């Protein structure tokens, strides 16, 4: 999965630079951070889908992921955090793009579980 996360992150950088977005570094950082959050949710089991396990079955993990997401938003949108982390506020569309790109990692892990499940049925 590390290669996929790297590919998604570098793909975000290439896409952002191609579209001449000023906030490309913040977008890359956000995609990397959010991809990690999706990955940690997905790898709780190597065979059982997250939705089958139940999203609330590990409340401390869910709360940690939610707190980290809020902290990521703080790094993006609070001026003193912008200075500290050298980030820039993203537009709503840029943030939605980052979230959309980040969920690729989550779905890739879930797809891998599905493949494993199909292979064991044979």
What tens digit of pLDDT does each residue of 43-76 get? 988 778 888 888 889 999 999 999 999 999 999 9
- The predicted structure's pLDDT at residue 122: 64
What angle (nearest 5°) sits at the alpha carbon of residue 5, between those of residues 17 and 38? 115
Residue 100: C-alpha distances to residues 9, 25, 51, 92 (Å): 12, 17, 19, 12
Nearby residues of 106 by Cβ (< 8 Å), 6 or more positions away:
38, 39, 41, 42, 50
- The predicted structure's pLDDT at residue 120: 82
Answer yes or no: pTM beyond 0.95.
Answer: no
Nearby residues of 13 by Cβ (< 8 Å), 6 or more positions away:
24, 27, 28
- The predicted structure's pLDDT at residue 87: 95
- The predicted structure's pLDDT at residue 18: 78
- The predicted structure's pLDDT at residue 4: 79
* pLDDT lower than 50: segments of the chain: none
Please name which of 27, 4, 33 lies closest in space to residue 14, comparing C-alpha atoms: 27
């Amino acid at each position: 999965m590390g290669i996929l996360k790297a590919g998604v992150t570098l793909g975000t950088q290439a896409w952002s630079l191609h579209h001449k977005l000023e906030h490309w570094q913040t977008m890359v950082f956000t995609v990397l951070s959010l991809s990690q959050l999706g990955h940690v949710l997905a790898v709780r089991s190597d065979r059982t889908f997250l939705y089958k396990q139940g999203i609330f079955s590990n409340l401390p993990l869910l709360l940690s992921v939610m707190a980290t997401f809020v902290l990521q938003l703080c790094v993006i949108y609070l001026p003193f955090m912008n200075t500290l982390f050298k980030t820039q506020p993203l537009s709503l569309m840029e943030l939605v793009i980052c979230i959309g790109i980040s969920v690729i990692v989550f779905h890739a892990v879930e797809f891998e579980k599905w493949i494993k499940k199909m292979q064991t049925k044979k």
